[in-house]
Amino acid sequence: MFHLAEETEADWWDVEALYDLCFAPGREALSSYRLREGVPKVAPLCLTLRDGEGILVGAIRYWPVKVGGQDTLLLGPVAVHPTHQGEGLGGLLITESLAEARRLGWGRVLLVGDAPYYRRFGFTRREGVLMPPPTNPDRILGLELRKGAWDGVAGPVTKALP
| pLDDT, tens only, 92-125 | 999 999 999 999 999 999 999 999 999 999 999 9
In this prediction, residue 87 has a pLDDT band, given cuts at 50, 70 and 90, of very high
pLDDT for position 28: 63
- Using CA atoms in the order 43, 46, 51, 53, what is the torsion angle rounded to 10 degrees? -30
For 71, 74, 104, 161, the CA distances from 81, given in Å and listed in that order, are: 31, 22, 28, 31
Please state the domain extents for the chain: 2-159
- Residues 72-86 have a mean pLDDT of 96
Displacement of CA 8 from its chain's centroid (Å): 17
- CATH homologous superfamily of 2-159 equals Gcn5-related N-acetyltransferase (GNAT) (3.40.630.30)
Residue 162 has pLDDT above 80, yes or no: no
pLDDT for position 37: 87
Per-residue pLDDT of 8-61, as tens digits, reads: 999 999 999 999 999 876 666 567 778 888 899 999 999 999 999 999 999 999
- Using CA atoms in the order 1, 11, 72, 88, what is the torsion angle rounded to 10 degrees? -20
User: Count of CB atoms within 10 A of residue 121's CB?
Assistant: 15
User: Count of CB atoms within 10 A of residue 52's CB?
Assistant: 8
Distance CA 76, CA 70 (A): 19
In this prediction, residue 70 has a pLDDT band, given cuts at 50, 70 and 90, of very high
Per-residue pLDDT of 133-159, as tens digits, reads: 888 999 999 999 999 999 999 999 999
User: Count of CB atoms within 10 A of residue 25's CB?
Assistant: 7
- Using CA atoms in the order 150, 156, 159, 162, what is the torsion angle rounded to 10 degrees? -60
Residue 141's nearest CA partner among 121, 129, 119, 126 is 126
